[in-house]
Amino acid sequence: MTTAIQVDLSVDLNTMDETGLPWAFLDEAPDPSLIVAGHHIVVGSGAATAVAIVVDITGEGIVHVQPMRGSVASNAHLLDVDRASSV
């Protein structure tokens, strides 16, 4: 049985802005308190998910992320200990 992966920030991983990074709006995160520059989170939409590092959050509430290579499971060690055990 596979556990569903909870996405911290819905991001279209194929869309990039002028920074060359995928982005999303902070206020669309289910729990915006998890979205902190320098922290790893789970991003994506649908079946396309990844662990990513939050690069920055602009004054306008735009979050830029850098997805890590590999699956969420293979990068679970980058997430908080409590969350890694649920992946």
Sequential pLDDT tens for the chain (87 residues)? 455 678 999 999 998 999 999 999 999 999 999 999 999 999 999 889 999 999 999 999 999 999 999 999 999 999 975 454 555
* Phi, psi torsion values for 78, nearest 5 degrees: -80, -15
The pTM score is: 0.86
In this prediction, residue 82 carries a pLDDT of 46
Where exactly are the structural domains of the chain? 9-84
- Write down the pLDDT at residue 46: 82
Radius of gyration for the alpha carbons in the chain, expressed in angstroms and rounded? 12
pLDDT for the residue numbered 86: 53
Residue 76 and residue 57: Cα distance in Å, rounded? 23
CB atoms within 10 A of CB 25: 14
